[in-house]
Amino acid sequence: MAKKSWMYAVLEAVQYEMRQDKNMIWIFELTPPVASTPGLPVINLEKEFGRKRVVNTGIDENWMASCVLGAGLAGSKAVTYIPYQGNCMCFQVIQNHAGKLRSMTGGVASMPIVFLLEMTGQTPGFAGQHSDYEIDTYYAHIPGVKTVVPSTPTDAKGMMAAAIRDPNPVCYLYPAGLREMMEDVPNEQFTTPLDKAAVRTTGSDITIVGSGGGMPEVLKATEALQKQGMKVEAIDLRSLKPMDTETLVKSVQKTKHLLTVDQSYYTLCPGAEVIARVAENVRGARFKRVAFPDAPPPASPEMFLWMRPNADHIVAAAKKLVG
Amino acid sequence: MAKKSWMYAVLEAVQYEMRQDKNMIWIFELTPPVASTPGLPVINLEKEFGRKRVVNTGIDENWMASCVLGAGLAGSKAVTYIPYQGNCMCFQVIQNHAGKLRSMTGGVASMPIVFLLEMTGQTPGFAGQHSDYEIDTYYAHIPGVKTVVPSTPTDAKGMMAAAIRDPNPVCYLYPAGLREMMEDVPNEQFTTPLDKAAVRTTGSDITIVGSGGGMPEVLKATEALQKQGMKVEAIDLRSLKPMDTETLVKSVQKTKHLLTVDQSYYTLCPGAEVIARVAENVRGARFKRVAFPDAPPPASPEMFLWMRPNADHIVAAAKKLVG
Amino acid sequence: MSELEHDEVSRETPESDQIASPSRRTFLKGVAGAGAAVSLISKGAWANGEIGFWAKDLPNDKLTEMFRTIVRIRWHERTMVDKMITDPKYRGYNHFYAGQEAVATGVCAALNNKGPFDQLDLVYSTHRPTGHAIAKGVDMKKMAAENDFRATGLNGGYAGEMHLSDKSCGFIGADGMIGPGHVIATGSAFAFRARGSKQVSVVFGGDGTYATPHFHAALNNAALLQLPFIYVLENNLYHQYAHYSYSCPMKDIADAARTYRIPGVVVDGQDVFQVYNAAKTAVDRARAGEGPTLIEAKTYRYYNHWGAPGAEAGQLGAFGYDPLAISSFRPEREVRAWMQRDPVDICRNTLINWGVLTRAQADEIEAAAKKEAIEAFAWADQQPFCKPEDGLKNVFVEGVVPARQFG
Amino acid sequence: MSELEHDEVSRETPESDQIASPSRRTFLKGVAGAGAAVSLISKGAWANGEIGFWAKDLPNDKLTEMFRTIVRIRWHERTMVDKMITDPKYRGYNHFYAGQEAVATGVCAALNNKGPFDQLDLVYSTHRPTGHAIAKGVDMKKMAAENDFRATGLNGGYAGEMHLSDKSCGFIGADGMIGPGHVIATGSAFAFRARGSKQVSVVFGGDGTYATPHFHAALNNAALLQLPFIYVLENNLYHQYAHYSYSCPMKDIADAARTYRIPGVVVDGQDVFQVYNAAKTAVDRARAGEGPTLIEAKTYRYYNHWGAPGAEAGQLGAFGYDPLAISSFRPEREVRAWMQRDPVDICRNTLINWGVLTRAQADEIEAAAKKEAIEAFAWADQQPFCKPEDGLKNVFVEGVVPARQFG
Ligand SMILES: Cc1ncc(C[n+]2csc(CCOP(=O)(O)OP(=O)(O)O)c2C)c(N)n1
Ligand SMILES: Cc1ncc(C[n+]2csc(CCOP(=O)(O)OP(=O)(O)O)c2C)c(N)n1
Ligand SMILES: [Mg+2]
Ligand SMILES: [Mg+2]
């Protein structure tokens, strides 16, 4: 156990698996697979495993994702780290090939692969393409890939290990806004299931469901609300597909109030799916969504930060819903 | 007024606009812009407007969509017809450029353009990539583009005329399963709003909401249910973004039962958004979704046709929900 | 069989006519009376073959095997056409490969198609896969069943023609999209290089693939990383309803290889031995770690872009060189000219000239191929349909997904 | 201003030193003492310039204007660096263009930048846009305000540096993605051809764009359709932290033009007149309906990939050729060598050699440029911040979208 950043935790999981499997591949573009943390050895996948297995490529994210898919089809485990700028450049090959090939081949295709898709949502000033947080929906609608979005260094490690060992293609979303998050993470390898939501706090007044980059604000709001006496059940979705309906339904059966929180655009944000699943299964509950408006994030910090859901927004919405 | 197919109705609208505006452009790949209907002149945009304005390109749907965007930015109206095989090849440029450029430029960008995106969903035997119906969700999550999906030749014409005249980029989804549909469509040009759902039948027992390729089965089911005494309010979404919340909410306030129908995959299908919007606004209603399972469509007609929602499925689900 | 007695087609080598079925008569008209020309041309092709010398050195059984593969593909095509026209219950469709057989055959003859998966060379195919599949070693019976969506088909009825695949012989499979497969195929090559394997990754693609953004991506990355990757571009002059000059500024697409500093080879796609020679050179290079090759095979498809069940001649979706389609895009003279250089005839005549086969032996091989194809389709006809609820399988490796169509 | 008296840098042309600010001293060390070399090289460049003859025939005011543009870009850069280091309230970031000024200037000097929108030539820029913007005619004050996200900025604070745009001078604008802009730019060219206009569409892009799939798509389609399109590839040797040889198998990327059967021109990107000559030729071709040109300008950026506000030298996100970044990817000798061929000096010396400008006049122009830049940033500083709720505007042409962040 040691304090680790998100990326250190992830690379630790990857390093372990690459040591186990000498065929395993890592493809990157801008982000060298290097991380360090005080008291632990520096991880540098490129140095350790060499340039035949770990490659820095030109600016072609579609090639990166396709390469990993082809490696999988040839029987090799493979992971690619797609920087957020290119996280839709590779959309078609994941949606139309990786997602469908198991079905289209009648179960024959081998795809032990992971698409590590960076998302932003974090940077005021960068505007539109560099501050958006939206791919959760795009990737979660695809059948045949598992789409997960960890929100803590510990889950990041456990879910990366699980994703690499999973024989299915996994879209592993990395909200880059969590880059600086530090927490105690076990040093040994472990796996975290790819299909289970995490109940972060239990409560009976309201269920608040978030995921990925939005989770820190959900937890902040939960703390504030609890201080004010509201019993909040805060759920971290973790897996968008498959979605853990059972945990969601059980919670709202109890609380009868469901608030979803997304940094993704409102229309068809993951929260819409959460509400729909619960509404199909729980009668008489009350529902509300907090999400980024259906607008690209503007550059100006004044505009951007006002639009991105934060703990204050969540607290106010929860009070309104329950009150 | 004359009996017209979907495509005849659409090309009639396009031809009218291209005659008004001698700069307007049409880009296609496989599907020549040609249509005929008994008693009316053959429409052939390529012949009428020449190869400088109407171009058949190589297999590069990203170029087609980008070209139309660039034409728009240069001040020309432009439409491209993307065949269903390529309807995600052009995803990134629509998601990350067309959808964001008005915001990113502070309102400066000129984009009087239409992406006519063919979808399938119709062909047993073609499997996976050639029988899927899924892009409604992908395109409806994008901010800054209007995403519509007409389901009748009349709406097809009116919404194409409106889309061309709209100064915003419009993703105009064409469910190719409706290719053979014929109906009386006015000969003169007219526009149909891009933000209004259509209430196809009014009723007080249940609201059934569908769109695009799924509408014929919704209407068939509605007829069957009405014969059995159920008062069905059948709503055709028509516009996915912006979505006509008001019409949906009003209807379910009355019926208290909402059944959504989608040929799109269950998770994050348009019906999820419909349910979420209504659930946020109507208390105590009951909800159900009928959708394609989260599985790529297999080739075998036995499997595919069993999986695709049809009138029987809808009738049974409606009875169960109301009963 | 009655057609043997009623054969109307006159050819130089009458023995081989005896296996022409009536359903192929119209089709064969293009070749009719052209026997003399064919053998001249095949001599020319042979002479050419001297330059790329690999094929000449092959043992007789390997050469015979190549002829067998060509005629197996051809008879698979012809039998399928017959099914489509005569059997109203038949549901399969096909993107026919007749006319292009020498390309798949020559390339796959240079590959490793048997053994454990981690030693097989891999083939990525297209929307036009059945010829590639047969050449790579896919079982014809199972493929026929798959193409008619049977539960015991090659891929359990999930694939159909546009997604046929067979890991057991390294046939990664068909892909209905134009472009992505080429890039994906470089990923397999990347994996081979990473694990120090001698395998190679081969992708087939049409002239239509040149204009895709994927063309650049596949070749540039393969070249930069010196991947064991071979891009076999079958230039049959058309992508669907457009001549390739609409999407490519060069006469020889292979010229594009210059940019990537890799070999770009133009080869006569009608002569299986020339194709083999080019492929063998590329495979040797790839195995030696010298990087990728772009092979452009000049070839031609005899039929329309695709054939649908229940098709009738003269209509779109039919096969045979229907007059309608020809007038709209392929000049009849062009079709006839290419038929004079039929890959079956060229291979046959070359092997007879080389003394590898007698005419009688060649006829025997062809008769066996015909028999195999007929039996394959007959077997497929007997296979069970899929169970509807199996549609929920094979989304993930484990389990089934929930039904959602019932609400 | 005190820096005029305390100048420490020794150069051949002392007058021009007087406008070097202390904050540029470190930066100027690379150029220091290299005056002689500079003028030799600029002579060479001039000799070269004789070949492409257009620039030599230009009237004096046009040539002077080019020098003015170069120094305006340079002083915009330097002033921004000062802001970042000295003003803790300043929020703008920048992808600096210093070192590459001659490319934007030479290209835009060959374009039509004034008049009604339907007669303007259009420029598509990149994540590194401020040089292109100034050269195309964007107002420096408004741009400075935009880069600090002010409501009265060029784009109302929605754009920031990576999306600057200004329709009034045909600056379609910056785009933060690598690749797509090139293809989109061909669409404008397509529109021009369709409406019979003489406008041309120009895209700037780095060496990093070569490996994108969009490179092929843009050039192939532009070539096939003979579009009035110019692809200006600024090869500054690096894309972020990789040398271009990691993603391109050629020394001259312009060689790739061969495939498309279009001119591929390599030009000295440090000499504005050579750039102008190449651009002028390309523009004339395009206007005459003769199709696209690929121009590769060999150039270099002095600063790091990008600079962030509050940056400190020696850290990533800083500017200046910091030792850390150099040792990790750019050899210090390489940076110094390129600084010897500074585009400001080359232009200045050429014009003095040509008798177009006296030293005094050149100094005056540079002093005015400095003043303009300082005033622009000062003006920007006074501008109001954006109203939060305006974030719901400019999604569609009409209206606002609903707030959703409050539930
Ligand atoms: C991305 C994409 N766009 C369009 C299509 C439709 N399509 C199917 S086959 C074909 C033509 C392919 O031509 P070519 O590559 O020359 O192969 P050929 O059919 O000649 O064998 C096209 C455009 C597709 N399958 N994929
Ligand atoms: C599609 C995409 N992938 C990655 C990035 C991240 N990125 C920003 S700038 C850059 C390097 C660009 O290099 P080059 O084109 O040579 O331009 P330069 O920075 O040298 O001006 C990269 C990779 C991006 N903006 N877009
Ligand atoms: Mg072809
Ligand atoms: Mg560069």
Q: For residue B62, which residues of chain C lie inside 8 Å, CB to CB? A: 213
Cβ of residue D258 closer than 8 Å to a chain C Cβ: yes
Q: What fold characterizes domain B2-185?
A: Rossmann fold (3.40.50)
Q: Which of A57, A72, A52 is nearest to A163 (CA)?
A: A72
pLDDT of C57 reads: 86
* D178 alpha carbon – ligand 2 mean position (Å): 5
Stated pTM of the model: 0.93
| Confidence band for D59, pLDDT divided at 50, 70 and 90 | very high
Backbone angles phi and psi of A300, in degrees to 5: -55, 125
Contacts of D86 (CB under 8 A, 6+ apart): D23
Mean of pLDDT values over D188-202: 98
HSE (side-chain half, CA atoms, 13 Å) at C168? 7
Angle between helices D101-108 and D60-86 (to 10 degrees): 140
Pairing of β A40-44 and β A2-5: unpaired
Give this complex's ipTM.
0.94
Q: Name residues of chain B where pLDDT drops below 70.
A: none
Is A20 an 8 Å CB contact of chain B? no
A89 close to ligand 2 (CB < 6 Angstrom)? yes
- Which domains, from first to last, does chain D contain? 2-383 (3.40.50.970)
Residue among B141, B85, B74 at smallest CA distance from B117: B85
The reply to whether C246 touches chain D by the CB within 8 Å rule is: yes
| Ligand 2 close to Cβ of residue A86 (< 6 A) | yes
- What is the per-residue pLDDT across C166-188, written as a single tens digit (0 to 9) for each? 999 999 999 999 999 999 999 99
Please state, as a whole number, how many other Cβ atoms lie within 10 Å of the Cβ of residue D10. 10
**Between chains, do A102 and C154 touch, taking CB under 8 Å as contact?**
no
Which of C244, C259, C262, C296 to probe by mutation at the D interface, max D CB count within 10 Å? C259
Closest residue in C to A49 (Cα) is C194
Instruction: Name which residue sits closest to atom 11 of ligand 2, judged by CA.
Output: D239
Summarize pLDDT for A284-315 with one digit per residue, the tens.
999 999 999 999 999 999 999 999 999 999 99
Nearest Cβ partner for A108 among C165, C201, C221: C165
| pLDDT at D312 > cutoff 90 | no
Structure tokens at D218: 């843009």
CA distance C163 to chain B (A): 8
Q: D307 pairs with which residues across the strands?
A: D94
Q: Minimum-distance ligand to the CA of C213? A: 1
Query: For residue C130, which ligand has an atom nearest its CA?
Result: 1
**Does D402 or C242 have the greater pLDDT score?**
D402
Q: Does residue D362 have a pLDDT over 80? A: yes
Name the segment(s) of chain B with CATH classification 3.40.50.920: 198-322
Instruction: Considering chain A, tell me which residue range(s) the CATH 3.40.50.970 domain(s) occupy.
Output: 2-185
From C235, C240, C305, mutation site for ligand 1 pocket: most ligand atoms within 8 A of C-beta: C240
Q: What is the pLDDT of residue C313?
A: 59
Contact C227, C193 (CB under 8 A): yes
Q: Which atom number of ligand 1 is nearest to the Cα of residue C128?
A: 21
Contact B141 A265 (CB under 8 A): yes
pLDDT for D313 equals: 59
pLDDT at residue number C318: 58
Work out the pLDDT band at D44, boundaries 50, 70, 90.
very low
The two beta strands, C201-206 and C238-239, are unpaired
What is the domain class of A198-322 according to CATH? alpha beta
Report the residue from A66, A74, A143 with minimal CB separation from C122. A74
Are D302 and D335 in contact by the 8 Å Cβ rule? The answer is yes
H helix runs in C50-92, sequence order:
60-86
DSSP state at residue C240: T
Cβ contact C149–B300 (<8 Å): yes
Closest chain D residue to the Cα of B22, Cα to Cα: D195
Could you tell me the distance, in angstroms and rounded to a whole number, from the CA of residue B62 to the centre of ligand 1? Answer: 15
Q: What is the pLDDT of residue C42?
A: 34
Closest residue by CA, ligand 1 atom 11: C239
Strands C242-243 vs C229-235: parallel, antiparallel or unpaired: unpaired
pLDDT of residue D320: 56
State the pLDDT confidence band at C335, using cuts at 50, 70 and 90: confident
In contact, B304 and C391? CB cutoff 8 Å: yes
Backbone angles phi, psi at A122, to 5 degrees: -105, -25
pLDDT in tens, A187-236: 999 999 999 999 999 999 999 999 999 999 999 999 999 999 999 999 99
The B residues from 229 to 248 touching D (CB cutoff 8 Å) are 242
D216 near C CB under 8 A: yes
- List, for residues C214-239, the tens digit of each pLDDT value: 999 999 999 999 999 999 999 999 98
Per-residue pLDDT tens over the stretch A237-247: 999 999 999 99
Residues of chain D with C-beta less than 8 angstroms from the C-beta of B66 = 180, 183-184, 186-187, 217
Q: Is the CB of D132 under 6 A from ligand 2?
A: no
**Ligand 1, atom 25: nearest CA belongs to which residue?**
C177
Q: Does D24 touch chain C (CB under 8 A)?
A: no
Name the token pair of D248. Answer: 């391109």
Residue type, C309: P
What residues of B are in contact with residue D217 (Cβ under 8 Å)? 60, 62-63, 66
Q: What's the mean pLDDT in D166-185?
A: 97
Other chains touching C, judged by 3 or more CB pairs under 8 Å: A, B, D
Cross-chain residue pair B59–C211, CB shorter than 8 Å: yes
